[in-house]
Structure 1
Amino acid sequence: MNTQQTSKVILVTGASSGIGEATATRLVRQGHRVVLGARRTERLQALAERLRDEGGQVAYRALDVTRLNDMQDFVAFAEATFGPVDVVINNAGVMPLSPLNALKVDEWDRMIDVNVRGVLHGIAAVLPSMEARGQGHVINVSSIGGHAVSPSAAVYCATKYAVRAISDGLRQETDSIRVTVVSPGVVESELADTISDTTARDAMKAFRRIALQPDAIARAIAYAVEQPNDVDVSELIVRPTASPY
């Protein structure tokens, strides 16, 4: 367990798998105090126990980012456990792709709720305290889908463009809080498992033929976290070298 750098209190949403799990693991092993949030608490418990066995400082709590009260309670739990929150990583996201003419309105609404409102709720829950202390770090996970639109991904891409817009708006509104938006390229994850549309699911299999491991994104996030308070790594795009996307 590396504890050489200053330990920070860090929240990770969507921490039960993929990028969230990898990021939480890396940050705990670097000596940070990390609070895991997700709906699948059995996975959070298993991850927390594994990291505690390694000597890490980690806690977890059930979290639905679409509910502001849930996010506020998550932050309060973190503060009661480890102290004021230094970093929030708004990572929770869903990706049920489909062509617009499939009219999967419920799935559109879910993406907006998790991918956009979830980020806003994460910001709302930590911003007052960070502003009062004059420091803090908000890290929002977007996507290469937030830089270019592709067929069957219009709504998903719209939510990820929104994450970039929200992030840059927050960055411009503050001179004391660091804001980072991370846009992963193709990464091995469970996101594609939520695709119910057959056409989109088949296209995604080809799209994900070349993919990064989640720890590649975790390393990028850790790099942004470790910078001093006067250095804001505003945006990172992380892609597989061999991928054209």
Structure 2
Amino acid sequence: MTVVSTTPTSKVVLITGASGGIGEATARRLAAAGHRVFLGARRTGLVATVAQDIEAAGGVAGHHALDVTDRGSMGAFVRAARDRYGRVDVLVNNAGIMPLSMLEALKVDEWDRMIDVNLRGVLYGIAAVLPLMREQGSGHIVNVASVSGHRVDPTAAVYSATKFAVRAVSEGLRQESRDVRVTVITPGLVTSDLTGGITDTAVRGAVEGMMEIAIPASAVGDAITYAVGRPADVDVSEIVIRPTAQG
């Protein structure tokens, strides 16, 4: 990773779920573009390593423990970033889980967890940064959804519901905002560890069999970096990014 020096236009970007996958790739891409990144995740050892790698390559990165399902944890994450950098320009609500299953399997605990992480976590992130951005008179909230937020497939009913909801919340916030930009990033099949959370072995095997066409997480990081880098009067409302071979 080649890192450019930060400039007066570099932004302070907070990223949730930054210990791996899309979050990690996005952190590396943004840091390479000269932005200052602040990384949050439950896996504190992994997220610390990502931040250290970025700094070793010449970037600017900090990290903090974060559980997006805990409103207090989200607030502490945002305060730590503001204390470190003096402001918060961008929040990338990336943390998510995908324990797919048929509804008849009645994996209610997994349904609850998806709602907590994928939807409530996004709302807690918005609640934590929006007052600061309003006070600054500028800001950018990037919410990571999924192509499952445009379609519903068997085993994905609850997951899709959370991602449809993320798109709805994002569009509502966009319409309410004149000084805060809102972007939805909508990935298709991406190489990540999301499939590891699927407890139904048959479903996990089927999904893993589809992953041979998956695009790298860095491709999504590039899309986020593009949206973040647009001028303040340009709102990139949604980017759908998926493998060419994905139906």
TM-score, normalized by the shorter chain, greater than 0.5: yes
Whether 1:39 aligns to 2:42 is yes
Offset of 1:37 from its aligned partner? 0.2
Offset of 1:143 from its aligned partner? 0.2
Q: Which residue of structure 2 aligns with residue 163 of structure 1?
A: 166
Residue of 2, 5, 15 corresponding to 2:4: 2
SS at match of 2:212: coil
Query: Any conservation in 2 of the 1:164–1:181 contact (CA below 8 Å)?
Result: yes
Query: Any conservation in 1 of the 2:6–2:36 contact (CA below 8 Å)?
Result: no
222 and 41 in structure 1: CA distance in 2 versus 1, 3 angstrom threshold = same
Q: Which residue of structure 2 aligns with residue 107 of structure 1?
A: 110
For 1:113, the aligned partner's letter is D
Q: Which residue of structure 1 aligns with residue 98 of structure 2?
A: 95
Q: Which moved more, 1:14-23 or 1:25-34?
A: 25-34
Q: Distance in 2 between matches of 1:241 and 1:28?
A: 27
Q: Distance in 1 between matches of 2:100 and 2:35?
A: 35
For 1:2, the aligned partner's letter is V
Q: Which residue of structure 1 aligns with residue 241 of structure 2?
A: 238
Residue of 175, 189, 192 corresponding to 1:172: 175
Residue of 53, 68, 72 corresponding to 2:71: 68
* Count of aligned pairs between the two proteins: 244
Whether 1:83 aligns to 2:94 is no
Whether 1:132 aligns to 2:156 is no
For 1:197, the aligned partner's letter is D
Write the deviation string for residues 8-35 of structure 1: whole angstroms up to 9, x where unpaired: 0000000000000000011111111100
Query: Any conservation in 1 of the 2:183–2:238 contact (CA below 8 Å)?
Result: yes
SS at match of 1:208: helix
Query: Any conservation in 2 of the 1:98–1:199 contact (CA below 8 Å)?
Result: no
Query: Any conservation in 2 of the 1:12–1:89 contact (CA below 8 Å)?
Result: yes
Whether 1:18 aligns to 2:25 is no
Q: Distance in 2 between matches of 1:172 and 1:203?
A: 39
For the aligned residue pairs, the C-alpha RMSD in angstroms reads 0.9
Query: Any conservation in 1 of the 2:6–2:35 contact (CA below 8 Å)?
Result: no
Query: Any conservation in 1 of the 2:5–2:59 contact (CA below 8 Å)?
Result: no
Q: Which residue of structure 2 aligns with residue 186 of structure 1?
A: 189
Moved over 3 A (4+): none
Q: Which runs of 5+ in 1 are unaligned?
A: none
| TM-score of the aligned structures, taking structure 1 as reference length | 0.98
Offset of 1:4 from its aligned partner? 6.6
4 and 85 in structure 1: CA distance in 2 versus 1, 3 angstrom threshold = closer
Q: Distance in 2 between matches of 1:53 and 1:209?
A: 32
Q: Distance in 2 between matches of 1:28 and 1:43?
A: 17
Residue of 209, 222, 232 corresponding to 1:219: 222
Identity %: 57
For 2:5, the aligned partner's letter is T
Write the deviation string for residues 101-140 of structure 1: whole angstroms up to 9, x where unpaired: 0000000000000000000000000001111221100000
SS at match of 1:222: helix
Q: Which moved more, 1:177-186 or 1:3-12?
A: 3-12
Q: Which runs of 5+ in 2 are unaligned?
A: none
Q: Distance in 2 between matches of 1:49 and 1:178?
A: 29
Offset of 1:207 from its aligned partner? 2.6
Offset of 1:45 from its aligned partner? 1.3
